[in-house]
Homo-oligomer: A and B are copies of this chain.
């Protein structure tokens, strides 16, 4: 399973029915948290997400609506008895903020918390774990800000059990077949790997663009992505305001998705001034049809 669950789709000023940015990316058994606005731990509980399964946290930038909920979550994990390590990928200024708050409360974490600093402007792979690869790339915002690209690519080949049986290959050897090995029978004849396996399924890719002004330089990161999240803080008529505040509009997000030939687009980070989100769809879909509102509590498969 490769999917993203939306915990918050609003911009900085929280409203009663929309919350600041946070998403859970699920890669089979692994959960990743992307941004963590205030109250994220409550959304996690509300949607019955297993918080203990979160292994990696990615913070795009240090505007509060993207990280004010982190210290509360880290604290609750500790109170709940977590012992598994946890890694936070974030701009380097986050570590002392968290550390100060742990220190002043006399909190000893019972789990290993490591910070991976994302230096301004950095792009490249930041994590490889099992079938998952995560890269980051800079977006253009008022402060240092990163998008994240999540690729799930099965490394093991797909075993064809009927064929393997037909060649009398012992089941204990199936793992090696999935790794690509041939099999030599006792009579010295060789069963070629591709007689009994198929190549791994094609990788799938989710790209989270965080907060950003309209920026065609993001295109290489979005190219052919299966699912793109791009902010649309404002409707089209507020293009000037969007630029001034380093945010994007409906038409801008849809144009990028179209230019990148992405398969699907999720839009979010809506300004609190909007109560009705329908116009966001009405403006994006004519430019890029496969667009959805990032609805809180909904899981979108990549």
Contact = CB atoms under 8 A, between A and B. Distances in A.
Interface in A15-49: 15-16, 38-39, 41-42, 45-46
Contact of A62 (B38, B76, B105): B105
A68 B94 CA distance: 15
A69 B41 CA distance: 13
Contacts of A71: 64, 68
Interface string A143-172: 100000000000000000000000000000
Interface string A268-290: 00000000000000000000000
Given A39-B39, A68-B71, A62 B12 contact: no
A276 to B, nearest CB: 19
B143 A76 contact: no
Interface stretch (A96-104, A181-189, A197-205, A253-261): A96-104
Nearest to A100: B97
A300 to B, nearest CB: 24
- How many copies the complex holds: the figure is 2
Interface in A66-100: 68-69, 71-72, 75-76, 79-80, 91, 93-94, 96-97, 100
Nearest to A12: B79
B14 A76 contact: yes
A106 interface: yes
Nearest to A101: B97
Nearest to A62: B104
Given A41-B14, A100-B100, A142-B106, A72 B68 contact: yes
A215 to B, nearest CB: 19
6 contacts: A13-B79, A39-B42, A62-B101, A64-B101, A97-B100, A100-B100
Give me the 10 closest cross-chain CB pairs, A-B, nearest first: A93-B104, A38-B72, A62-B104, A68-B72, A64-B75, A39-B39, A97-B100, A63-B105, A62-B105, A13-B79
Given A39-B39, A62-B104, A91-B104, 15 more contacts: A12-B75, A14-B42, A14-B72, A15-B45, A39-B42, A62-B101, A63-B105, A68-B68, A68-B75, A93-B103, A93-B104, A96-B100, A97-B100, A100-B100, A105-B143
